[in-house]
Amino acid sequence: MSVEEKIVLRTVSKPDSTDFDDLTIWFIKVFGLDSRENRIESEMFRTIVSNNTEGRGVTSKMLNKKLDVPRSTVIYHLNRFIYSGLVVRKGRKYYLRSEDMHSTIEELHADIEREFSRMMQFADMLDKSFEEKVYARRRSRK
């Protein structure tokens, strides 16, 4: 079963620092995954990224205990991360899509390019169909 992804990118001023926390919050905002209070999303994402660099995934139960929020809230945010294409689920664990953030962004970039290429093909088909329709209309008038 293919998973639909919705990649939302917002223009957000880059942080002045290279602090891990600041960069994490920036990524959360750029991908439109933030809420009024960034604590939950940014803490979840930091945990996923840091565990990912060690080759370990995280479970919803682990995040539930760490963040002290209802498990349903954790699952909701994990699903949003998956839907954005940043995170994948393997069994009961959640991982960054690739081995590191750079590779994850590269994969998302390739997804976007592939999708735009498909859109261009369909746009060409639409244009050709429209041209044929106009040509047929002109011929029928004569």
| Domain ranges, residue 26 | 20-97
Q: Is residue 73 part of a domain?
A: yes
Looking at the DSSP bridge assignments, the partners of residue 94 are 58, 89
Residue type, 72: S
Q: Is residue 3 part of a domain?
A: no
Q: Is residue 11 part of a domain?
A: no
pLDDT tens, 53-101? 888 999 999 999 999 999 999 999 999 999 999 999 999 999 999 999 9
Separation between Cα atoms, residue 78 and residue 64, nearest integer Å: 11
Residues 72 and 125 in one domain: no
- Per the prediction, the chain carries an average pLDDT of 87
Residue from 88, 101, 89, 97 nearest 30 by CA: 101
Residues 44 and 77 in one domain: yes
pLDDT tens, 93-136? 999 999 999 999 999 999 989 989 999 999 999 999 888 877 77
Q: Is residue 7 part of a domain?
A: no
Q: Is residue 66 part of a domain?
A: yes
Give residue 25's pLDDT.
Answer: 87
Q: Is residue 5 part of a domain?
A: no
pLDDT surpasses 60 at 1: no
In the chain the first and final C-alpha atoms are separated, in Å, by: 51
Q: Is residue 6 part of a domain?
A: no
Q: Is residue 127 part of a domain?
A: yes
**Counted domains in the chain:** 2
Residues 24 and 93 in one domain: yes
List CB contacts of 32: < 8 A, sequence separation 6 or more: 8, 9, 10, 84
- Identify the DSSP state of 42: H
Q: Which of 97, 113, 130 is the last residue of a domain?
A: 97
pTM, to two decimals: 0.77
Domain containing residue 66: CATH number: 1.10.10.10
Separation between Cα atoms, residue 136 and residue 84, nearest integer Å: 43
